[in-house]
Amino acid sequence: MPFYITTAIAYVNGQPHLGHAYEEIATDVLARQHRQRGEDVFFLTGTDEHGEPVADAAHAQGLEPQELADKNAERFKALMPQLNISNNFFIRTTDTQHMHRVQEVLQRVYDNGYVHKGLYEGWYCPRCADFKVENEILDGNRCPIHEIALTRESEENYFFKLSAFQEPLERLFDEHRDFVMPARAYNEARAFLGQGLQDISLSRAKLTWGVTVPWDPSHVFYVWFDALLNYYTALSYASPDTDLTDHYWPAQFHVIGKDILKFHTIFWPAMLMAAGVEVPQRVFVHGFLMGEDGRKMSKSLGNVLDPFAVLEEFGTDALRFYLTREVVFGSDGNVGPHGLRIRYETELANEYGNLASRTVAMLRRYRDGNVPRVDTDPEIREQFDGLAEAISELFDRAETTQALDTIWQRVRRLNRYVEERQPWQLAKDDTRGAELEQTLTTLFEGVRVISVLLHPYIPQSVERLLASLGAPDTSYASARFSATGPLAGGVDLPPLEPLFPKLERPAE
Ligand code: MSP
């Protein structure tokens, strides 16, 4: 089954930050889990390079927009392997193939009669590249998102007849309650729609840094139209020899932050309808990351969590784990270095890493590194029954944090099992050999299954561990807890280096 999933594409006027890393990681966890289930996943990410914010930032640095875009797009691209993101393609909106396709699609919108010329006047935020409506503007004519002064802009440009899609969009929202998720975001988008749609500006005459309007080359397209189309254009040239559009379109899952809800849930489906293209299935809106003190992260408040520093000190999986565990996907969350250290030490190092190390060490000490071929403990096995299916159901609702918690309950259960069984005592008593063997096999199988399920979250550590257990299969089929001895691996186990080494500076 094709499963096409995307992130928002980042502006290249700045450098990657934690918010970007979060969205990439969260989307990657989803993509990897669907792949694990055998679905035909295509995962797209990339950079949004046109528009006023990029042109302004470039000029402020004495660069041409293309130079700044090239420089920063590289930084975003380089972030992907650092975060272990499994994207299938990285789109840049300055790719010529993208630009041609944007012209083609929007020409169709024009030919279908959804474009007219008009005078635009309104309060404009150059950082959002968006006009603001009166009721969202802050006191002193400031942007509700950036809090900077808005400028009064007036120009003659082309308009997209958004108002013509009031009813079709209402129908879309009524018939597809999961078009926007979670429910809070759906309600917000529905309320916006309820206010009545007005036509929106489609082009800019003052700007040159953008995709040229084919029917009037003195204009460029408003950056949001060019940017949103990335989800559609990428498929036409992501593969060197085939156009993937028919195979993967419509997208199953757009992952975005809550600040760009209106663009993705209202403008985007309307634009596609106007071009005669099928609309995507779901838009998932995640929350914003705030500092540990609950305030917006800023250098001056000293509450910034720098993703690059985290990667350096703790490694990729620690960042991936911390963000997906700490922040309920779909809600805002507070994150910071203190919470990260605690979760790293108590959960990754002690609860999971240590469980794996102890299991391997005991198998080596008591059974020469070979897992006994005996039945697993039915009580533990029962707690793994239907687990993979339950996780998949949670993933179908994008409840990745709840899924991780469900897995973690099994990590904790296995730790309690070690304490209950005390294999080191059993090993002292020759008459209890069978109990020892059952305990060791059950632990091995438990660690293996948990690891398979954790693979989307912490792929590197899991791959290392499973390779060392001789059971490298991470597909969903291998997430079954065997009744009769290990499903795979468990022979001549080598010693296991700690998966999450102790920190030089432990948490206070
Ligand atoms: N270029 C537009 C998106 C165009 S999509 C067709 C844009 N870029 S952005 O760089 O500002 O943001 C990229 C994504 O990162 C957005 O989904 C945004 O919500 C998300 N985040 C930016 N800061 C964030 C946090 N502090 N926390 C979580 N996500 C945030 O918008």
68 Cβ closer than 6 Å to some ligand 1 atom: no
**Both tokens of residue 487?**
């499903």
Residues 326, 340: Cα–Cα separation, whole Å: 9
228 Cβ closer than 6 Å to some ligand 1 atom: yes
Averaged pLDDT for residues 165-184 = 98
pLDDT tens figures, 395-406: 999 999 999 999
What residue's CA is closest to ligand 1, atom 26?
19
Helix then strand count (H, E) for the chain reads: 21, 15
pLDDT the model gives residue 184:
97
260 Cβ closer than 6 Å to some ligand 1 atom: yes
48 Cβ closer than 6 Å to some ligand 1 atom: yes
- Which structural domains are found in the chain, ordered by start? 2-287 (3.40.50.620), 337-478 (1.10.730.10)
Give yes or no for residue 362 having a pLDDT over 80: yes
Nearest residue to 377 via CA among 432, 422, 439: 439
The reply to whether 143 belongs to the active site is yes
Q: Which residue has the tokens 């468990």?
A: 490
The reply to whether 146 belongs to the active site is yes
Residues 317, 460: Cα–Cα separation, whole Å: 7
pTM: 0.95
pLDDT tens figures, 139-170: 989 998 888 999 998 889 999 999 999 999 99
**Both tokens of residue 178?**
């999961």
Residues 208, 273: Cα–Cα separation, whole Å: 27
Residue 258 binned pLDDT confidence (cut-offs 50, 70, 90): very high
Residue 50 binned pLDDT confidence (cut-offs 50, 70, 90): very high
Averaged pLDDT for residues 422-439 = 97
pLDDT the model gives residue 136:
82
Can you tell me whether residue 233 is helix, strand or coil? helix
Q: Which amino acid is at 226?
A: D
Averaged pLDDT for residues 421-448 = 98
Pocket test for ligand 1, best of 5, 6, 7, 11 (most atoms within 8 A of CB): 11
Q: Which residue has the tokens 């206010």?
A: 195
Return mean pLDDT, the chain. 95
**Cα-Cα end-to-end distance for the chain:** 48
Give yes or no for residue 192 having a pLDDT over 70: yes
Paired strand residues for 152 = 123
Residue 327 binned pLDDT confidence (cut-offs 50, 70, 90): very high
Q: Is 142 exposed, middle or buried (0-12, 13-18, 19+ CB in 10 A)?
A: middle
DSSP letter string over 459-491? HHHHHHHHHHHT----SGGGGSPPSBS-SS--S
Beta strands 115-125; 130-132: pairing state: antiparallel
Going by C-beta distance under 8 Å and a sequence separation of 6 or more, which residues neighbour residue 411?
Answer: 347, 351, 352, 355, 450
Residue 507 binned pLDDT confidence (cut-offs 50, 70, 90): low
Going by C-beta distance under 8 Å and a sequence separation of 6 or more, which residues neighbour residue 392?
Answer: 33, 37, 476
Residue 126 binned pLDDT confidence (cut-offs 50, 70, 90): confident
Averaged pLDDT for residues 403-431 = 98
